[in-house]
Amino acid sequence: MKILKSTILIAFCLIALFIYVANRLALPLPSWIYFYVNDFLCMPIVLSLSLAALRFIKKSDIIYVPLSIILIMTTYYAIYFEWLMPQLNSRYTGDLIDVFLYFLGAFLFFIFQKKLF
């Protein structure tokens, strides 16, 4: 699949993985990297993988994620991770900057999905 071989998607996944591992190993990185980069990368990664799954199921490479679905999925992630989870688990914190970054990443995915995939 073209999407799963995309250098941008692979790079985003590797960056997110590196930040996760660095956090687990307590490597010294600037706090903004730990707090914000993965929030920005979240929606492009999730939406790209969703698009790949949809294309695989439908067996068509001309399908794209419409703006309405992008907004619904991003809103769901924002509500779940920034409102609901902080109420249920002290490990999570709600942050409006994270919500902004989810939507910024989703917006960039929407703009570039037809050019990249």
The fraction of the chain above a pLDDT of 90, given in percent, is: 87
The predicted pLDDT at position 104 comes to: 98
State the average pLDDT over residues 73-96: 94
The predicted pLDDT at position 101 comes to: 97
The predicted pLDDT at position 2 comes to: 83
State the average pLDDT over residues 88-115: 94
Q: Which residue ranges make up each domain of the chain?
A: 7-116
In 81-92, which positions are buried (b, 16+ CB within 10 angstroms) versus exposed (e)? bbeeeeeeeeee
